[in-house]
Chain A
Amino acid sequence: MTELIRYTAAETASAIAKGEVSAVEVAQAHLDRIDAVDKKVNAFLHVDTEGALKAARAVDEKRAKGEELGPLAGVPLALKDVFTTEGIPTTCGSKILEGWIPPYDATLTSRLKDAGVVILGKTNMDEFAMGSSTENSAYGPTGNPWDLSRIPGGSGGGSAAALAAFEAPLAIGTDTGGSIRQPGAVTGTVGVKPTYGSVSRYGLVAFSSSLDQGGPCARTVLDAALLHEAIAGHDPLDSTSIDAPVPAVVEAAKLRDVRGMRIGVVKEFAGEGYQTGVMQRFNESVELLRELGAEVVEVSCPSFTLALPAYYLIAPSECSSNLARFDAMRYGLRVGDDGSRSAEEVTALTREAGFGDEVKRRIILGTYALSSGYYDAYYGSAQKVRTLISRDFDAAFAGVDVLVSPTTPTTAFPIGERADDPMAMYLADLCTIPSNLAGNAAMSLPVGLAPEDNLPVGLQIIAPAMADDRLYRVGGAVEAALNDKWGHTLLEEAPAL
């Protein structure tokens, strides 16, 4: 039974479809695993045992009736606690939403349910997805299954850790500046930020609306592709949703062939601040791609050096507005309502008590950046940088099919190390942010361990908007070649919990 938790999503679905195992057995195996290890990992904020078993039973009944099952029917999934789930708490890792039970499902949530995916529970995250370590959660940090004293990345550390700890074969993250890819990189898992607008944001509690994008997290490229297909596609409830067919990502993941592809190495993502072992594994990956028949060229994207400051103006600006609704009037925490205070005072006290430091820091930053007299210099300039970054990408993609870089400059750092140094923390997203600003697609997949600390290193692949399939084509080929070389998957090297 313990073997069930090591199955990939594709294997799990196939075993259920063939009747080799029931969806309930699969769900129970994962619930048992969560029970056994999550006290240590703290990947989950809420485990929905009853809901998961009910969903699994529904799949089994469907199969018993001879109905056709979807490609992910019965596969368990860990859902980042930033998507609304009807009847199930949704906290976004914040005290201000403690106890809030949404009356509606996010579009992504209902698509998962429709696909027969079994939602095990909601995963830990940096408060409102602001952070790169999951230390900003109001509910305690999540440990990295490779070394529980280290961060699992963030903001989607809970989702990535749940995969690496074999608590779920699939997870959902959201990526505003790297919150899917960076946790993927530091936990040795696969994470994809789809093209902006390809996965509905309806029911995704907004951090930065123009950057937020939900996406798949998995242990294999194919599993990520299967999940990608299940959640992507036009949603009339999200005005920014793209009304176009989803690229054939599953097909691309199975191709395992990069011959003739042109791959650009982003020159700017190297040098000072990049860990030796990270660069070593990255350079080996580039070499591997060349061996596999791809043409590798160096590409310069000079504006990328401005991405981080631009991001830290745009994202906080939007967040300052998006988070204004948490005012204690309609839902969530309410502090100081003893009959002696005005609504304004209760709102102020609630926000003071309910938001953590990083959230407050960004609200203040964004409020300032949008203020009259500063708008042009800050928000306005940042939007111009955004345009420059998009142009750099356009120029690069005119000559190459995908770009590659390390996903993060370093491997997982110890919990607490950067907690009081926001600037150091922000650098973790240096390589991932440009894709959010440009709205294109990017993936991180594991390419080995850094020799100096034996911690996972991620390779980032970036594709033009709506060419998400290229990520899977390149990622699938790299993954297959590395697994062949190692004789096993990287996660099998992770220490037992």
Chain B
Amino acid sequence: MNLVSYEDALASYDPVMGLEVHVELGTKTKMFCGCSTELGAEPNSQTCPTCLGLPGSLPVVNAIGVESAVKIGLALNCEIAEWCRFARKNYFYPDMPKNFQTSQYDEPIAFNGYLDVQLEDGSTFRVEIERAHMEEDTGKSSHVGGATGRIHGATHSLLDYNRAGIPLIEIVTKPIVGAGERAPEVAKAYVAELRELIKALGVSEARMDKGQMRCDVNLSLRPNGTETFGTRSETKNVNSLRSVERAARFEIQRHATVLTDGGTIVQETRHFHEEDGSTTSGRIKDNAEDYRYFPEPDLVPIAPARAWVEELRAGLPELPRVRRARLQAEWGLSDKDMQSVLNAGAVEPILETIAAGAPADQARKWWMGELARRANETGTELSEQPITPAQVARVTALVAEGKLNDKLARQVIEAVLAGEGEPDEVVEKRGLAVVSDDSALGAAVDQAIADNEAIAAKIRDGKVAAVGALVGAVMKATRGQADAARVKDLILERLGVEGQ
């Protein structure tokens, strides 16, 4: 299919988006039973009658799950329900032990909120929140015997119920209108901001790569200047920030292509493909699927006491937006520089490095320079680099003490990354310390002057700028281990010239 260009799509149509984000809470136990939520355990080892849906078993609500939901609701500027219930969402699927999901329907715990997100140009876009509700995760199916790992062509499926019953919070936006060409950027910025918020609240690690945070992108187009929403597609499980942006962008182009050709958009779920950023049709939803929701009779209603809600509100941590503004001011960064720090995921490492004693500019220099480059090259998170903020801080301290220069510091960092040990051990083992012994340096300086008499003469004549060449020679002779400033001073001293 030849897609209409993004610009052409936007010239005729106005995108309307809805984002549904599922967050796996970091509670120790599941939403309705006492089983562990630890990832990576032997399949089906973290199950009990309740999360396996055995006949006769009953759910009991995880109080920490409710508390986390209320915290998220408050941080999203939502109203917190005075009274709400769980509901059963009925549909058959083998990875769902009861064949209904215990969720919330028309009585969510939090509703009517908003989240302000910052776009790359520094402007703010307000995304309105419809609701945040509690539910349980399903188990995991793996399909065996087929070529693709999908159910199509598989000979059998394996079910792991360790994930079944892990608490989820589903956060649903109101239709996002008015973003225009920035719609994909808004989608990405919203998910990014939400992720920061969830992390700041300490209710989940919100790792998208580990499925702790999953996003569905609903998108429709309407002709520019019209009000009525078009038919939407629902792109499921878009699981990275970049993919969220790409999926929205692709769907805008795809919808525009279909509509421009006089076709109609089918309401359906779509799969996103990381490889080329496209989406393909999943199942068709001719009508809204009938989940036969009804209030969960096995659970009593939840009525969060107002005093408790206020207590939680008062105890909310500094939220990411506020914190960012504070750090930007403290570090004296421009909007653009701050944005780079954020994009690199460098805030926490920098803060921890500062906390370990490094000056702010030095901490930022290392994390945003050498280490960010490495993370980028290896496709890993900055926080996952095999070096600790304390080690980075130690390197900056060695520089400040004059024991390392910039070039040597870089070598030390590389050695630490390569697993050669602590910065001091590297300096020791590799003999990387700056040569600060003037007598040793003096010999090198004398040699350099002797070898470059013409240059030395120029300097004596007042062309002090030429000293660089001699410094270079000394540095070369000492294999970079000399302090360049000191070398310069020594040369000028030998030549009887005052430094400038």
Contact = CB atoms under 8 A, between A and B. Distances in A.
B97 interface: yes
Please tell me the size bucket of the interface on B. 20 to 34
Interface stretch (B57-65, B74-82, B214-222): B57-65
Nearest to B290: A372
Given A103-B49, A367-B292, A203 B57 contact: yes
A327 B61 CA distance: 25
Nearest to A318: B297
B315 to A, nearest CB: 27
Interface stretch (A204-212, A273-281, A426-434): A204-212
A371 B54 CA distance: 25
A371 B290 contact: yes
B454 interface: no
B56 A371 contact: no
Interface in B73-107: 88, 90, 92, 94, 97-100
B466 interface: no
B288 interface: yes
A321 B88 contact: yes
Given A209-B297, A372-B290, A324 B60 contact: no
Interface string B297-313: 11110000000000000
B60 A237 contact: yes
Contacts of A375: 292, 294
A84 B59 contact: no
Contacts of A318: 294, 297
A325 B59 contact: no
Contacts, number: 104
B157 interface: yes
B491 interface: no
Contact of B56 (A106, A326, A379): A106
A324 B55 contact: no
B58 A372 contact: no
User: Could you tell me the dominant secondary structure of chain B's interface residues?
Assistant: loop
B57 A202 contact: yes
A321 B100 contact: yes
Nearest to A208: B297
A325 B56 contact: no
Nearest to B100: A321
B56 A203 contact: yes
Given A104-B54, A318-B297, A329-B159, A371 B94 contact: no
B294 A321 contact: yes
B402 interface: no
Contacts of A367: 292
B363 interface: no
A371 B53 CA distance: 23
B98 A324 contact: yes
A213 B297 CA distance: 13
Residue of B57, B58, B97 with highest tally of chain A CB at under 10 A = B58
A397 interface: no
A106 B92 CA distance: 26
A202 B297 contact: no
A240 interface: yes
B448 interface: no
Interface string A267-308: 000000000000000000000000000000000000000000
B92 to A, nearest CB: 7
A294 to B, nearest CB: 36
Nearest to A370: B292
A325 B53 contact: yes
A317 B100 CA distance: 13
Given A84-B56, A106-B56, A347 B92 contact: yes
A422 interface: no
Nearest to B52: A330
B92 A324 contact: yes
A343 to B, nearest CB: 5
Residue of A204, A210, A325 with highest tally of chain B CB at under 10 A = A325
Interface string A205-227: 11011100000000000000000
Given A321-B88, A343-B94, A372-B288, A205 B56 contact: yes
Interface string A67-108: 000000000000000011000001010000100101110100
A89 to B, nearest CB: 12
B56 A202 contact: yes
Contacts of B290: 371-372
Nearest to B90: A321
A412 B32 CA distance: 43
B305 to A, nearest CB: 17
Interface string A366-386: 010011100100010000000
A327 B94 CA distance: 8
Interface residues of A, number: 45
Interface in B119-166: 155, 157, 159
B52 to A, nearest CB: 6
Nearest to A201: B58
Interface string B276-320: 000000000000101011100111100000000000000000000
Residue of B56, B90, B293 with highest tally of chain A CB at under 10 A = B56
A251 interface: no
B55 A84 contact: yes
Given A210-B297, A240-B298, A372-B290, A104 B58 contact: no
Contacts of A344: 92
A103 B53 CA distance: 12
A104 B54 CA distance: 10
Interface in B28-53: 49, 52-53
A205 B297 contact: no
Contacts of A203: 56-57
A483 to B, nearest CB: 38
Contacts of A347: 92, 94
A83 B292 CA distance: 27
A379 B56 CA distance: 24
Nearest to A211: B297
Contact of A209 (B52, B60, B298): B298
A325 B98 contact: yes
Given A321-B294, A329-B159, A239 B57 contact: no
B292 A238 contact: no
A331 interface: yes
Nearest to A329: B94
A451 interface: no
A497 to B, nearest CB: 33
B294 A325 contact: no
Interface in A166-204: 201-204
Nearest to B55: A205
A239 B90 contact: no
A309 interface: no
Contacts of B294: 317-318, 321, 370, 375, 379
B44 to A, nearest CB: 10
A239 B298 contact: yes
A336 interface: no
B300 A325 contact: no
Interface in A345-382: 347, 367, 370-372, 375, 379
Contacts of A339: 155
A324 B298 contact: no
7 contacts: A104-B54, A106-B56, A203-B57, A239-B61, A324-B92, A327-B94, A329-B94
Given A321-B292, A371-B292, 20 more contacts: A100-B55, A103-B49, A103-B54, A106-B56, A201-B58, A204-B56, A206-B56, A206-B298, A237-B58, A321-B88, A324-B90, A325-B53, A325-B98, A329-B94, A330-B52, A339-B155, A343-B94, A343-B157, A347-B92, A372-B290
Interface of B: 49, 52-61, 88, 90, 92, 94, 97-100, 155, 157, 159, 288, 290, 292-294, 297-300
Interface of A: 83-84, 90, 92, 97, 100, 102-104, 106, 201-206, 208-210, 236-240, 317-318, 320-321, 324-327, 329-331, 339, 343-344, 347, 367, 370-372, 375, 379
**Nearest 10 interchain pairs by C-beta:** A324-B99, A370-B292, A209-B297, A210-B297, A203-B56, A205-B55, A84-B56, A205-B56, A325-B53, A325-B98
